[in-house]
Amino acid sequence: MTDELITISPIDGREVARRAYASEAQVAHALASAQAAQGAWHAMGIEARGRVVSDAVDRFVAAKDEIARAITIQMGRPLRYTPSEVAGFEARARHMIAIAPEALAPIPAPAQPGYTRFISREPIGVALTIAPWNYPLLTAVNSIVPALMAGNSVILKHSDQTPLCAELIGRAFRDAGAPAGVFQFLHASHDIAQRLVRAPEIGYVSFTGSVRGGRSVEEGAAGRFIGVGLELGGNDPAYVRADARLDHAVETLVDGAFFNSGQSCCGIQRIYVARARYDEFIERAVALTNQYVLGNPLDAETTLGPVVRTRAAAEIRDVIQEAIAAGARNMIDSSHFKNASEDSPYVAPALLTQVDHRMRIMNDECFGPVVGIMPVETDEQAVALMNDSPYGLTAAVFTQDEDAALHIGRQVRTGTFFMNRCDYLDPALAWTGVKNSGRGVSLSAVGFEPLTQAKSFHLRSV
């Protein structure tokens, strides 16, 4: 087993970072420091905590250009897009800071003469955030900021593909004067991560990643009676009704399928189109897809970068070829994308028709620029197909009839339901999933609940 992480850029295969994994002594020190710092951090009060966290956010955002380039170099998203992830980090952080006083306020019980009764929200202690590489800031901020605002200390374990993001977040909190031990990061192997999950000092684990990784976290936390938040990805569907504004639907869904090279948990992977609009939808989607520019993500004209590594690209190509062998048709000529090659992480986008739910593209997560499209006859058929998945993170309908959208949305088993939108996260709404997309919740007012412990006060006057 290696004792260090090595980050290889998917852009050109060069080494970006090499870091020693945390030793057992460093892990023990981090846990002890986090536990020791937490009480005083909570005692500072929510306004003082908010000032520190806000200052850290200010400092982080001020380094936007540096951070955006670091994301691009580490995981390959085009540089024209990575600054928006810094903006998303800021928006989510500021929203959770702003709503914290009200969300964390004591809950009063109905008035009763002679008694004072209320429920307070107490911090759970030390929160562990395990974040992935695909959206290295957005997945981390969801738990880091609300955990800190609630009075917890935080340890961040980031993906080996994006260690610089952990270091840049850590720098912002250090420069903002966060007390020692309140926010820390560790570069950790799988075994060390499991050691952290099992550590008695940890009171909550937030994990974003694969279903297999989520099972590993659950197994590590088993019997500890702590909260575990799991966001495990998806195979997200969209339905284009006959009354949809087709130009908007095509533009939104093609972006929802191919943005970040399809490496998004809530990206669109399945599209169902009303039969009457199907042919036109396909024609427009093909035309728009062919406008993408696959290439070096540091180049200004590039709109589609490489996937994270060559091995992942090979798995994506396997999904495409399996579908074609089973009768699907790829409407995109991959030769149009000159930089795509079999022995690289550069994958041409694929728009598959004549698909069915026996194919992997329609029933499992494919973390790449691939989408399957099927015609449907009725709303009822669309709902049945949307629900025919082991995942349930987000789903979308494109229509001009809000009543119809609500009727469909109430039938679809999903964590978030959109109308005329997709592949988006609103910090004012709960981020959650069902089925193999995981369990737990982050963001919004309810996102503070798993990071706090209810404590009842029942005071009697005598």
- DSSP 8-state code for residue 265: T
Q: What's the pLDDT at 191?
A: 94
By the 10 Å C-beta count (0-12 exposed, 13-18 middle, 19+ buried), 223 is classed as exposed
- Cα 162 from Cα 229, distance rounded (Å): 21
Q: What's the pLDDT at 158?
A: 97
Q: What's the pLDDT at 208?
A: 97
Note the pLDDT tens digit of each residue in 17-26: 999 999 999 9
* Token output for 393: 């993170």
- DSSP 8-state code for residue 85: H
The CATH number covering residue 70 comes to: 3.40.605.10
Is there a single domain that holds both residue 316 and residue 168?
A: no
Is there a single domain that holds both residue 260 and residue 115?
A: no
Kindly state whether residue 432 falls inside one of the protein's structural domains.
no
Catalytic pick among 201, 231, 365, 449: 231
Domain range for 248: 236-426
Q: What's the pLDDT at 2?
A: 77
Q: Can you tell me the mean pLDDT for 134-148?
A: 98
Q: What's the pLDDT at 282?
A: 98
For strands 4-8 and 15-20, give the pairing.
Answer: antiparallel
Note the pLDDT tens digit of each residue in 417-455: 999 999 999 999 999 999 999 999 999 999 999 999 999
Q: Can you tell me the mean pLDDT for 340-356?
A: 97
Is there a single domain that holds both residue 442 and residue 454?
A: yes
Q: Can you tell me the mean pLDDT for 252-277?
A: 98
Q: Which of 94, 146, 131 is nearest to 449 (CA)?
A: 146
pLDDT at 150 over 70: yes
Residue 395 binned pLDDT confidence (cut-offs 50, 70, 90): very high
Kindly state whether residue 431 falls inside one of the protein's structural domains.
no
Q: What's the pLDDT at 353?
A: 98
Active site residue 4: no
Is there a single domain that holds both residue 301 and residue 202?
A: no
Is there a single domain that holds both residue 125 and residue 209?
A: yes
Is there a single domain that holds both residue 218 and residue 326?
A: no
3-state secondary structure of 433: coil
Q: With contact defined as beta carbons under 8 Å apart, do 253 and 268 qualify?
A: yes
Q: What's the pLDDT at 239?
A: 99
Q: With contact defined as beta carbons under 8 Å apart, do 10 and 76 qualify?
A: yes
Is there a single domain that holds both residue 294 and residue 224?
A: no
Considering the chain, what is the average pLDDT of its residues?
97
Note the pLDDT tens digit of each residue in 283-339: 999 999 999 999 999 999 999 999 999 999 999 999 999 999 999 999 999 999 999
Q: What's the pLDDT at 1?
A: 54
Is there a single domain that holds both residue 167 and residue 267?
A: no
User: How many independent structural domains does the chain possess?
Assistant: 2
- Cα 238 from Cα 273, distance rounded (Å): 8
Share of the chain above pLDDT 70, in %: 100
Q: What's the pLDDT at 39?
A: 98
Beta bridge partners of 416: 394
Q: Count of CB atoms within 10 A of residue 327's CB?
A: 11
Is there a single domain that holds both residue 245 and residue 217?
A: no
